[in-house]
Structure 1
Amino acid sequence: MNKYLLEIGVEELPARFINSSLEQMKNYTSKILNKKRIPFDEMKFYSTPRRLVLLIEGLPDRQEDLEQEVKGPSKKIAFDENGSPTKALEGFMRGQGIKLEDIFVREYNNVEYIFANKIEKGRAVEEILKDNMADMIKSISFPKSMKWGGKNLRFARPIRWLLSIFNDKVLEFDLEGIIASNITRGHRFLGSSNIEVNNVEEYFLLLKDNYVIVDRDKRKEKIKYSCEKLAREKGGNLLYDEDLLDEITNIVEYPTPMIGRIKEEYLKLPKEAIITPMKEHQRYFPVINDKGMLLPYFITIRNGNEEYLDIVIKGNEKVLDARLEDARFFYNEDIKEPLENYVDNLKDIVFQEKLGTLYDKTMRVQKLAGKIGSYLEVGEETKKNIERAGYLSKADLVTNMVEEFTELQGIMGREYAAESGENEIISLAIYEQYLPRFSNDELPTTTAGAILSIADKLDTISGIFAIGIQPTGSQDPYGLRRQALGIINIILDKKLNLSLEELIDFSLYIYVEENGLAFDYYKVKDEILKFFDGRIKNMFIDMGIRYDIVEAVLGTASDDIFDLKLRADKLNLWLDKKGLDEVLSAFNRVKTLADKSENNEVKRELLVKEEELNLYDTFSSVEEKVIDLLNRKEYDSALDCMISLKEPIDQFLDNVMVMVEDEKLKNNRLGLIKKISDTMLLICDLSKIVNK
């Protein structure tokens, strides 16, 4: 079996572009091979900052032959009265490249037609690859692309060479003047710039000899292992960060770890003020002890060998010293004033043109958080903490430290609040207002922090919707989807019983009262509710809840997210226990009729048939119990009560004519059915359940 290797050689690619590029290469190539009927054993992808590599193993010599049954003219016009082929048949055979003995007659739609089995011989695989690789490269898209050298081709960075080998043969193709060959390049400074590759097998060995580890996974493992080893040698542990490791892996071709020292005086700074410049700006790994405290070391990766490593380490130490000296200066300047003194400065920073300044947002969040706290009936001490944390929540955004290192928002607020003498709950809530920042991030641990976080996120969502900037497709410039998911996660984690509609009312009212913002109140409110419904559906489904169960609970009048999750969990277990047939058959019949009624009023004196009297009395006996169970959130038990109505419902619907001419009788019977349906809808909408 054959192997094919393609290498796209480029100027250094941004680390964040590499994984997406490889995925696009995989999708395009797989699609082409499948379309062209070319089987293969395995497709592998490799990358460094200077190359994207495709390796296909187990390729055949030729693509599979294609056998097609083609339909020609009808038999009636294919032959003349003497049985000789007509011009119609001759034209068909000529067009298909077949002879008379290749055709056969088969009936199609009660008419006899001429058919033929046409075999298209497979082409050589190397020819097909040669014809398609340039288009594959052109198909790769990037968030930002560039043009160079007068070419029409766009790519993330200029393409400098192409290597294309089929076994031991160059598979040449032209990409706008860039001719594929068997020449590659090694490490920019340590390797050769002209390496001739004679076959696929020697490609990886030749690059390794030229200081390039093509396999990304091997580079990543080498970086992780060697960094952990260096940390242990200093009696510490690597402060591991998967995202940082991935980024470093994508920016080096030949990784060599090195460890440097941090001056002791900088360790007096808050931990995050040291870690953030190290990780976010310098791509250094911190070293910590068993208690999580920083040790005076950092570990970084050199894209090269160990030659002159001591000089490189000293250079990195000087760079970090300068960064940390800035951080120390900013910190010392910032703590000269208590945190509350920075609040007024927020009046000079615009949050959003139509939504006011950061000071305006602070006042709204403080007020909204207070309303949520009152709604949840939190204690007086917690109310005071919420109010104070809300007032101070954005103050750190105008400090020197956060203006320089924006990643420290909230973190420095927590540190400066503690430095200013605020209590621990207030300090922590200032930090927790931003949680969760991303998927699977930590959630607020304090009640004050949870409420402040909900208020901050809901204020942003409400304001942006009110001015008509809604997320569309992949466009979500204010991260509203992420913030809505954050609110849902906090509510579920803290088991908070909150009416989503009332929360939105609180937030929108504040915009009207505090900012005088003009908008279509009810339209905006409805849009926000629908927006949250979409996020709730997706999150519940991601949690493993069946789609129809999600629809069933969202079909109720409840807008309490935690309550909806509780209903979904209990309904899921209840349906598994009961079986669907008896449940759905009874409720769906009721729901269908109930939709025809405008009210649920029932007069017992108008119930004349035994079956309707029996249904009314049976329902009356369970209705109060169902309401009590709903108040206790025992939804499964409430469902048990309702399903006890199955037999009287069936008897009623089988023996009583509902849609009679007598309007009073008809409306009374519909009212009874609607009353039962409305009670069931207090639990869930079983008509949404799919009987699989």
Structure 2
Amino acid sequence: MSTILFELGCEELPPKSLKTLRDALQQSFIIQSAAANITFDSIKAFVAPRRLAIQIKGISAKQPDRTEEKRGPAIKAAFDAEGNPTRAAMGFAKGLGIEASELTTINTDKGDYVGYVQTVQGQATTELLPTIFQTALDNLPIAKRMRSGASRNEFVRPVQWAVLMQDDAVINATIQGHQTGNQTRGHRFHSPDYHTIAHANDYEQLLDGLKVVADFDKRQMLIKNQVKALADEVNSDAIVPQSLLDEVTALVDFPIALRASFEPRFLQVPQEALISTMQADQKYFCLTDKEGKLQPYFIFITNIESKDPKQIIEGNEKVVRPRLADAEFFFLQDQKQPLFVLTENLKNRVFQDKLGTIWEKSERIAKLAAFIATLMQQQGQEIDINETVRAGILSKADLASSLVGEYPELQGIAGTYYARLNNEPEAVAASLEEQYLPKFSGDVLPKTAVGICLALADRLDTLVGIFAIGQAPTGSKDPFSLRRSAIGILRILIEKQLPINLVALVEQAIKGYSTSDGSKIAKMGDTFTQVMAFLNSRYRAMYTEQGVSVDTIQAVQAINPHMPLDFDQRIRAVQTFSELPQASMLADSNKRVANILAKSEGAVANEVNASLLTEEVEKSLYQTVQQAQLDVMPLLDTANYTQVLQTLVSLDAPLTQFFADVMVNSEDAALKANRLALLKQVRALFLTVADISELQL
């Protein structure tokens, strides 16, 4: 058992791909070694800007020997009448390098054959490794490979050296066109020369001494700890997005964190703009106070241990100043005119070729948002309709601003800043940012009532418009993010506890496209049907992500509720019901009831004739059904679906007994019709919540 070390030295690897390359290399080796029957105790992958490496400890010296059964011609063809081997048998034996006398008989269901069991010696691991590592490199997820100089070998970056060792010995091979050896290089500036690796176990320790922290996770932890320590010194919190942390970790061999500052005057600019430019362009970590307000500091990671860090700090402060000044310029430039004036520019900006301008979209949003606000008012919520209309008109104004033109990710955020500077009502200002929430799965929802109206109106308008022009999502293509928009609509209505019907919202959104010049939607009925079907289809994606079983979702979808909040309440009720001991039997009974009713000829009566109930069992079921009908009525009025299903559990025993003792399809037509009517009432009770027969318990 020994240690194997493989390292590929390159020019600086693409930082955003570093972790992916590391993980793919390790996974490929694990898969290939398993296929080759090579075992090992542990494996560790390393990655730094100029290297990819794997260290495998406790690896087996060779593949285990294995036996292979070779089958030859049939016995009848292998031996003649006297039992002597024929030319067929001798040819088979010669091919295996044995005498015909060494052949054995193999019995199969298709007859007997001659054969031979031979032992295949396992190959030495060192013989297999070069091919395994080269294959792993060839299979790395690299979007675009390159060739260096006259070499025909392709890789993501030019390769400079290759190491392949078993303990203290070099495994001779050619990988990526380079002869393997036992020499690596350290930090590009601190230790640029080649250094000999005495033993494969010494790899990480040797590089540490050469100012290279080869372990990505260890390097990342060093960065996090240094950043936190520097932030604590000025009583601040660092903003450390994981994607930025990964990228910075991938850019350095030997991370040294330094803190710099910028002029406090830049803090008048929306902090989102400052943070955006410092993170995206400079890879800096910004600092905020405990309330989340940006502070005039930033932390950056350098790749060298400088004798005079002050010069590096001053250099970074000099570089960042023009970027912050640009953001300041755009911000001040936009303030030369009120936010409302910017809406004029939207009249020349196309939202979608067939759906008009962004200004027209703003007008539709304002009308639809006002409609939603009216519904919310009717439900007792405090919301100003005029403020909602104003917010709708201003909703896209900042798209014409210089700040958003330079920083598109600030759409909505810039509008909120400008609205406050223009002394717009706070409800209007806050809603301009909130209209884009939620931005992604699990994101926060708008908090204000006006923000909720705008968020719903914006998504509904886009959804209806894009479906109307025949550009609905197909397969993996969803250029307008309609799936995300649909889930956003459902989440808002559910999590904000808004009992609003989707039918009303979609119909109103479609009406919004009607103008004095006619409607931009040719087939309103088709558009309505398609949008409703699309919204209903999103329930499955949304709830399965929450861990809700598919059959539970199907049970509720079967009755097609049009109110998302109501849909959610039914889902929760069915989930609770599914955990009851009687749930499985009741689900089976409901399937049976549904099948019987589906096969019945003609219409089934709604009322039961009590005088035709002849069996005690069916009388008992009828009485239980009548009582259940009385009990669930007030519960349905309050949408207490969980308690409705709890109440209907009382039907379990009499329904089970009914099927055991009563023949539904009686020869007496009147009895049969009456029993079908009774089962119809049973079915109707459960369908007040969901189709329980869909459950697979």
TM-score by length of 1: 0.89
Equivalent residue, structure 2, for 1:578: 581
SS of structure 1 residue aligned to 2:479 = coil
Query: How far apart are residue 127 of structure 1 and its match?
Result: 1.7
Residue 407 in structure 1 maps to residue 409 in structure 2: yes
The 1:540/1:29 distance shift into structure 2, 3 A limit, reads same
Q: Does 1:270 align with 2:276?
A: no
Instruction: Provide the rounded CA distance (Å) in 2 between the counterparts of 1:511 and 1:15.
Output: 47
SS in 1 for 2:251: coil
Residue 213 and residue 373 in structure 1: after superposition, are their counterparts in 2 closer, same or farther (change >3 A)? same
* Residue aligning to 2:218: 218
1:3 aligned partner:
3
Q: 1:196 to 1:607 in 2, by over 3 A?
A: farther
Instruction: Give the corresponding residue for 2:481.
Output: 479
- Using the TM superposition, name which of 19-28 and 470-479 deviates more: 470-479
Q: Deviations over 1:155-208 (max 9, x none)?
A: 444444433333333345445644444443333333315444343233333433
Q: Distance in 1 between matches of 2:26 and 2:100?
A: 44
Which whole-Å CA distance do the structure 1 matches of 2:303 and 2:258 have between them? 11
CA distance in structure 1 between the aligned counterparts of 2:535 and 2:154, rounded to whole angstroms: 39
Partner in structure 2 of residue 488 of structure 1: 490
Q: Which amino acid aligns with 1:685?
A: D
CA contact (8 A) 2:159 2:176 kept: no
Alignment of 1:433-472 (within 5 A): 433-472=435-474
1:506 corresponds to: 508
For the Cα contact (< 8 Å) 1:607–1:665, is it kept in 2?
no
Residue-by-residue CA offset, 1:296-319 (whole Å, 9 max, x unaligned): 221111122223422221121122
Kindly state the Cα deviation for residue 416 of structure 1 after the two structures are TM-superposed.
0.7
1:619 aligns with: 625
* AA at the equivalent of 2:559: T
8 Å CA contact 2:130, 2:174 repeated in 1: no
Question: Measured at CA, do residues 420 and 166 of structure 1 come closer, stay the same or move farther in structure 2, by a change above 3 Å?
Answer: same
Bigger Cα displacement from structure 2, 469-478 vs 38-47 = 469-478
The 8 Å contact of residues 6 and 163 in structure 2, kept in 1 or not, is answered as yes
Equivalence map 1:632-651=2 (5 Å): 632-651=638-657
User: CA, structure 1 residues 649+356, in 2 after alignment: closer, same or farther (shift >3 Å)?
Assistant: same
Change (3 A) 1:293 1:645: closer
Question: Deviation of residue 482 (structure 1)?
Answer: 3.0
CA contact (8 A) 2:587 2:694 kept: no
In structure 2, do the counterparts of structure 1 residues 148 and 479 end up closer, same or farther at CA, with 3 Å as the change threshold? farther
How far apart are residue 431 of structure 1 and its match?
0.8
Unaligned runs of 5+ residues in structure 2 are none
Alpha-carbon offset, residue 112 of structure 1 = 5.3
1:602 matched to 2:610? The reply is no
| Conserved? CA contact 1:147–1:154, under 8 Å | yes
Deviations 1:124-156 (A, max 9, x none): 112222123222212122455555547776644
Partner of 2:519: 516
Residues 250-286 of structure 1 deviation map (CA, whole Å, 9 limit, x = unaligned) = 2222211111121122223333333222223222222
Q: Select between 529-538 and 307-316 the one with higher mean Cα deviation.
A: 529-538
Match of 2:579, SS state, is: helix
Task: Give the letter aligned to residue 560 of structure 1.
Answer: M
Q: Does 552-561 or 316-325 show the bigger shift?
A: 552-561
Q: CA deviation at 1:557?
A: 2.1
The 3 A distance-change label for structure 1 pair 84 and 38 is: same
Q: Secondary structure in 2 aligned to 1:301?
A: strand
In structure 2, what residue type is equivalent to 1:397?
L
- 1:67 Cα offset (Å): 3.8
Q: Which residue number in structure 1 is paired with residue 572 of structure 2?
A: 569
Does the CA contact (< 8 Å) of 2:74 and 2:112 recur in 1? yes
Distance 1:656 1:527 in 2: 45
Deviates more, 1:318-327 or 1:67-76: 67-76
Q: Secondary structure at the match of 1:3?
A: strand
Task: Say if 1:147 and 1:455 are closer, same or farther in 2 by CA, change over 3 A.
Answer: farther
TM-superposed deviation, 1:395: 1.0
Deviation (angstroms), 1:103: 6.5
Q: Distance in 1 between matches of 2:346 and 2:412?
A: 15
The 5-angstrom pairing of residues 259-408 of structure 1 reads 259-376=259-376, 377=378, 379=381, 381-408=383-410
Aligned partners of 2:5, 2:513: CA distance in 1, in Å?
Answer: 60
Provide the C-alpha distance between the structure 1 equivalents of 2:471 and 2:157, rounded to a whole number of angstroms: 34
Instruction: Kindly indicate whether residue 550 of structure 2 is the aligned counterpart of residue 550 of structure 1.
Output: no
Comparing 62-71 and 260-269, the one that deviates more: 62-71
Aligned CA distance change for structure 1 residues 317 and 637 (closer, same or farther; 3 Å): same
- Cα distance in 1, alignment partners of residues 430 and 59 from structure 2: 60
1:574–1:636 CA contact under 8 A, matched in 2: yes
Structure 2: which amino acid aligns with 1:455?
Answer: A
* Aligned-pair CA distance for 1:62: 0.7
Out of 576, 591, 594, the residue aligned to residue 594 of structure 2 is 591
Q: Does the 8 A contact of 2:608 with 2:678 survive in 1?
A: no
Kept in 2: contact 1:131–1:173 (CA 8 A): no
TM-superposed deviation, 1:27: 3.0
Q: In structure 2, do the counterparts of structure 1 residues 521 and 79 end up closer, same or farther at CA, with 3 Å as the change threshold?
A: farther
Q: 1:159 to 1:494 in 2, by over 3 A?
A: farther
Amino acid at match of 2:365: V
**Partner residue, 2:123:** 123
Percent identity at matched positions?
34
Residue 682 of structure 2 aligns with an amino acid whose one-letter code is I
Determine the C-alpha separation between the residues in 2 that align with 1:504 and 1:156: 50
1:545 alignment partner AA? V
* Secondary structure, aligned partner of 2:359: helix
Which residue of the partner structure matches residue 420 of structure 1?
A: 422
Specify whether residues 577 and 93 from structure 1 end up closer, same or farther in structure 2 by C-alpha distance, changes over 3 A only: farther
Per mean C-alpha deviation after superposition, the further-off stretch among 552-561 and 396-405 is 552-561
Q: Distance in 2 between matches of 1:520 and 1:664?
A: 48
Deviation, structure 1 residue 572: 2.3
Q: What residue identity is the alignment partner of 1:495?
A: Q
Residues 109-188 of structure 1: matches in 2 within 5 Å? 109=109, 117-143=117-143, 146=146, 149=149, 155-174=155-174, 177-188=177-188
1:685 aligns with 2:691: yes
- Rate the CA distance shift 1:614–1:238 in 2: closer, same or farther, 3 A: closer
Q: Displacement, 1:73?
A: 5.5
Residue pair 1:286, 1:294 contacting (<8 A) in 2 also: yes
Question: For residues 155 and 357 of structure 1, what CA distance do their matches in structure 2 show?
Answer: 47
* Structure 1 residues 33-79: Cα deviation after superposition (integer angstroms, max 9, x where no partner): 12111122222222223322222222101123334556665556555
CA distance in 1, matches of 2:431, 2:353: 27
RMSD: 3.3
Distance apart, 1:111 and its partner CA: 5.1
Amino acid at match of 1:677: R
Check the 8 A contact 1:330/1:401 in 2, yes or no: yes
Q: How much does 1:371 deviate?
A: 2.7
1:235–1:289 contact (8 Å) kept in structure 2: yes
Which residue matches 1:253?
253
SS in 2 for 1:337: coil
Q: 1:566 to 1:444 in 2, by over 3 A?
A: same
Q: 2: distance between equivalents of 1:64 and 1:292?
A: 61
Q: Secondary structure at the match of 1:438?
A: coil
With 359-368 and 615-624 compared, the bigger mean Cα shift is at 615-624
Query: Could you tell me how far apart the structure 1 residues matched to 2:10 and 2:98 are?
Result: 49
Structure 2 partner of 1:628: 634
Q: Distance in 1 between matches of 2:538 and 2:433?
A: 25
How far apart are the structure 1 equivalents of 2:301 and 2:105?
73
Kept in 1: contact 2:582–2:652 (CA 8 A): no
Deviations 1:361-395 (A, max 9, x none): 22222223223333343646343332222211111
Moved more, 7-16 or 31-40: 7-16
Q: Could you list the runs of 5+ residues in structure 1 that have no partner in the other structure? A: none
Please list the CA deviations of residues 66-96 of structure 1 after superposition, one character each: whole Å capped at 9, or x if unmatched: 3455666555655554445555555665566
TM-score, normalising length: structure 2: 0.89
Moved more, 506-515 or 423-432: 506-515
In the alignment, is residue 53 of structure 1 matched against residue 59 of structure 2?
A: no
Alignment of 1:60-79 (within 5 A): 60-68=60-68, 79=79
Aligned-partner Cα distance in 2 for 1:39–1:498: 61
Q: Which amino acid aligns with 1:212?
A: V
